[in-house]
Amino acid sequence: MTSDPPSSSPHTGALHARAAPVIDSAEAEAFYADAIRALDEAGIPFLVAGTFAVSAYTGISRATKDLDIFCKAGDWPRILTHFKELGDRVHIEDERWLGKVERGAAFFDVIFASSNGTSPVTDTWFENARESNVLGRTVRLVGPTELVWSKCFIQNRERYDGADVAHLILRAHDEIDWARLLQHMEMHWEVLLIHLLNFRWIYPSERDHVPEWLLDELLDRLRHQRKLPPPSARICRGRMFSSADYEIDVREWNFADIDGKDGKQE
């Protein structure tokens, strides 16, 4: 039997950014700053994520082509309507998780869940947010725990966020609520284990950044799972990483889609 995770309290102090992204144009930077001001003044709850949050927690400064604004599902229509009334173009790319606000060539994303539905933005994200200065204004960033969660499933041919996960563990491990992260990943604990093993391999001298109780718990689950027969339903969960990359599994190889329907035994 594995040990219980230690209790932890959320970090509520301000975070002083150690780096900032490199924005590709002055027009885009002005638009992002104006968007943050407009959101703040409108009183609609939002969080800044993406490269701005990664830079704040890790100290990595890299180029970014957009701004990621996270909100709860009930607030994304308010945000898009607000900017439409301000004269900006709005676009609902996927009503399950993503909208966009555009001005000229610049845009920012309005995100309220992951593309595969595993991580909807809830009150917990706001309760565990951090304060930081972004483009001259104090805003709330997605907390490191939820930021890791949001990136665990971004694994497709065009984009892989595993390096962000590794860097967040390296630079912000003491701010990650590991027990809450496990709760978030409960149904997909193997994905979390893969990221933790990946971190251990990348940074062998920093292995102690991952709590022993967490690795013990995940390996104990794996040990018990290996004693069981494989499941009857032939499901391809790779579709949760990339529906396009794993399309052939469903279309030609008789694996069931994510909903588990129509998987055939060979």
**174 pLDDT above the threshold of 80:** yes
pLDDT confidence band for 66 (50 / 70 / 90): confident
Give me the domains of the chain, ranges plus CATH numbers.
22-220 (3.30.460.40), 229-266 (no CATH)
pLDDT top residue among 22 and 185: 185
**163 pLDDT above the threshold of 50:** yes
CB-facing half-sphere around the CA of 137: CA atoms within 13 A? 18
Cα 191 to Cα 174: distance, rounded to the nearest angstrom = 21
Cα 126 to Cα 137: distance, rounded to the nearest angstrom = 18
- Cβ neighbours of 100 (radius 10 Å): 18
Q: What is the pLDDT of residue 262?
A: 60
pLDDT for 192-221, tens place per residue?
A: 999 999 999 999 999 999 999 999 999 999
Question: The whole model's pTM is what?
Answer: 0.89
**133 pLDDT above the threshold of 50:** yes
